[in-house]
Amino acid sequence: MTTWLAALRELQDAATPAVLVTVAEIQGSTPREAGARMVYTADKQYDTIGGGHLEWRAAQIARAMLEDGAGQLPGQRRLERIALGPSLGQCCGGVVFLAFERVEPSGAGVWKELETHWRNGTDIWRALPLDNADPVQLYETDGEACDLNAPDHGLHATLFRDAHKTCLARDAHGRRWLLDLCRAHRPQVVLFGAGHVGAAIVKVLSNLPCRVLWVDEREDMFPEQLAPQITVEATDVPNAAVDMAEPGAYYLVMTHSHALDQQLTERILKRDDIGWFGLIGSYTKRKQFEHRLAERGITQEQLNRMTCPIGIPGIYGKEPASIAIAVVAQLMQLWELRFTQARTPSPPPLATHALDGRG
């Protein structure tokens, strides 16, 4: 499945008319959260906002906009309130507010800037005026306009700081806006190896909220078209890519050479800030690597940070697609755990008297 941003880039290059649909707000139980997006053309759809009937209704509205768009103002927009139970018969029964916007060639710069932010791992706000055809505005997470020369649109910084997620808002003049928080694809996965398994893993990761640094010596192994969050590093010194990775990155090593796998493993394990490291191979390969690396000064504590074999238990197929599913599922479990831990509040500090024996 092509993600909405990758689709917009391709459609803009081909000058294909399209409508971007964004879940602006939700009430009650709904298929997707605010900020989910998809793209419609006259005969195709990209990405998903969830719910078969909801997408069917969104397709009707979007394609009507495409049919009626000739001669109208650029950037035609609509905001639709859709009750899932009464109007569509969906069992979740909540209410979804959908923002529809025609994607015009003049807005290509916005999508390129979004791609840049995503590649860099930084969030950005997309502010879409709903009551006029003014262009989309981009804002940093602190509410500062990316274009410092842009006029004052009445969007105070506190609107962005207080929102925390995609929502509907009114500016100082009472005009309606969609404030769309475009979260960067993160965390970072550094994948060494562009063979069949590596390519299968990248294909799955292209549809998930992460960024991928894909490394191989063989430049001709990389496909021409890649999702915005995939960065290719074709290099004769793949070891150097280990040092390029961000703190907390997730590493996957699966090159065409066991000798290179061992070099990469040693270099990765010498970093003290890795999020996770997975090495493709059997238990026999693990034991061989542990023995060789121990001789090279890698401690047992460092070796314990190596996961080999990789993939969740219960999926034992050796086809590239089967391995990809097992490995990406393992990454998703790690990410879910990290996300859960990050949002769990720390216990309140103990009162002073409980520490000094006076309680």
Residue 69 has a pLDDT of 62
Q: Which residue type occupies 105?
A: P
Task: Please compute the mean of the pLDDT values over residues 285-303 and round it to a whole number.
Answer: 97
Task: Please compute the mean of the pLDDT values over residues 86-112 and round it to a whole number.
Answer: 79
Residue 338 has a pLDDT of 75
User: Which residue ranges make up each domain of the chain?
Assistant: 4-182, 188-340
> Which tokens is 282 given?
């059997």
Round the average pLDDT of the chain to a whole number and report it. Answer: 86
**Interacting residues of 314 by C-beta distance below 8 A, sequence separation 6+:** none
22-31, 113-122, 130-139: segment of lowest average pLDDT? 113-122
Q: Which residue type occupies 124?
A: I
Residue 218 has a pLDDT of 92
Residue 10 has a pLDDT of 84
Q: What is the biggest distance separating any 2 CA atoms in the chain, rounded to whole angstroms?
A: 79
Closest to 18 measured CA to CA, from 26, 28, 8: 8
**Interacting residues of 310 by C-beta distance below 8 A, sequence separation 6+:** 252, 278, 279, 280, 326, 327, 330
- Alpha-carbon gap, residue 54 to 18, rounded angstroms: 18
Tokens 């989309």, residue?
Answer: 136
11: phi > 0 → left, psi -120 to 50 → alpha, else beta; which? alpha
**Percent of the chain at pLDDT exceeding 90:** 57
Residue 58 has a pLDDT of 94
- Alpha-carbon gap, residue 52 to 144, rounded angstroms: 38
Under the banding of pLDDT at 50, 70 and 90, the label for residue 287 is: very high
Architecture per CATH, 188-340: 3-Layer(aba) Sandwich (3.40)
Residue 38 has a pLDDT of 94
What are the tens digits of pLDDT across the range 135-165?
899 999 899 998 888 888 899 999 998 888 9
- Alpha-carbon gap, residue 200 to 324, rounded angstroms: 6
- Alpha-carbon gap, residue 129 to 330, rounded angstroms: 41
Letter string b/e over residues 149-182, b meaning 16 or more CB atoms within 10 A of that residue's CB: eeeebebeeebbeebeebbbbebeeebbbbbbbb
Under the banding of pLDDT at 50, 70 and 90, the label for residue 120 is: confident
Tokens 């562009």, residue?
Answer: 194
Q: Which residue type occupies 172?
A: A
113-127, 229-243, 267-281: segment of lowest average pLDDT? 113-127
Indicate whether 121 pLDDT > 80: no
Under the banding of pLDDT at 50, 70 and 90, the label for residue 305 is: very high
Which has the higher per-residue pLDDT, 140 or 349? 140
- Alpha-carbon gap, residue 59 to 42, rounded angstroms: 9
What are the tens digits of pLDDT across the range 276-285?
999 999 999 9
Indicate whether 336 pLDDT > 90: no
> Which tokens is 139 given?
């804002």
Residue 187 has a pLDDT of 83
> Which tokens is 233 given?
């590093």
What are the tens digits of pLDDT across the range 185-206?
678 999 999 999 999 999 999 9
pTM score of the predicted model: 0.64
Residue 39 has a pLDDT of 95
| CA torsion, ordered 226, 229, 234, 240, to nearest 10 deg | -170
Indicate whether 96 pLDDT > 50: yes
Q: Give yes or no for a contact between 166 and 24, defined as CB atoms under 8 angstroms apart.
A: yes
Indicate whether 343 pLDDT > 60: no
> Which tokens is 287 given?
């034991």
* DSSP symbols for 19-75: EEEEEEEEESS-SS-TT-EEEE-SS-EEE--S-HHHHHHHHHHHHHHHHH-TTSPTT
Residue 163 has a pLDDT of 87
- Alpha-carbon gap, residue 175 to 178, rounded angstroms: 10
Per the DSSP assignment, residues forming a β-bridge with 178 are 128, 168
Residue 274 has a pLDDT of 94
Indicate whether 346 pLDDT > 60: no
Indicate whether 89 pLDDT > 80: no
Task: Please compute the mean of the pLDDT values over residues 19-33 and round it to a whole number.
Answer: 91
What are the tens digits of pLDDT across the range 213-265?
999 999 999 998 888 789 899 999 999 899 888 888 999 999 999 999 999 99
Of the ranges 63-77, 284-298, 331-345, the best mean pLDDT one: 284-298
Indicate whether 318 pLDDT > 70: yes
Task: Please compute the mean of the pLDDT values over residues 6-14 and round it to a whole number.
Answer: 85
